[in-house]
Amino acid sequence: MPRLRAWRAGAFASVAALGLWAGRVDPWAMYLLPGPRVPTATGSARLQFAASPFGAAVTRDGRLRYDIRVTAGGLPDPTTLGDYHAYVAWEVSTDLAQWHRLGVVGNGTTVVGEADWNKFLLVITAEADSMPAAHQGPTVLHGHSPSALLQQFLTHPLFRGISQ
């Protein structure tokens, strides 16, 4: 129980520090909450248009491309969590079926990579190396893209028993 209380306290402190309760909601911001293994971690991410000579970068099929700038704090050395040596950011589909590696995250601000999905989760995990083919380590920070706010919670595929 004390571990759960510490995690909740850290999560609420992170949300309060980011200004969610003060009514400041940025349509390009992603507010990251800590995972249970690192309750002191804080973070946010910001979507910024990827470089393009045309003003907005798009994929061949017309999806907007964004660079994701992550600001993280309170991340301990990954080795304190086990046999891990790096924190890695992932673009994850909302049904958790697809994971796309973005890049390495550390304390401070880093542009981790390019995302082009409309709705996605941003998950930062501790991993054994900085170039894993698939995620395996514990989640240290997680959040969702601003467009995911438009989805009603109970209509999410995970709650309807649908996996695709």
Which three-class secondary structure state does DSSP give residue 89?
strand
Distance, in Å, from the CA atom of 128 to the CA atom of 84, rounded to the nearest integer, reads 4
Averaged pLDDT score across all residues of the chain: 82
Which parts of the chain fold into alpha helices (H)? 2-17, 157-160
Residue 158 binned pLDDT confidence (cut-offs 50, 70, 90): low
Is 142:33 a contact under the CB 8 Å cutoff? yes
Distance, in Å, from the CA atom of 30 to the CA atom of 112, rounded to the nearest integer, reads 14
Give the residue from 138, 133, 143 showing the smallest Cα distance to 47: 143
Residue 13 binned pLDDT confidence (cut-offs 50, 70, 90): very low
Tell how strand 86-92 and strand 121-127 pair up: antiparallel
Tokens of 41: 């971690």
What's this model's pTM, rounded to 2 decimal places? 0.76
Write the pLDDT tens digit of every residue in 113-134.
Answer: 999 998 899 999 999 999 999 9
Which three-class secondary structure state does DSSP give residue 22?
helix
Domain boundaries, the chain: 2-160
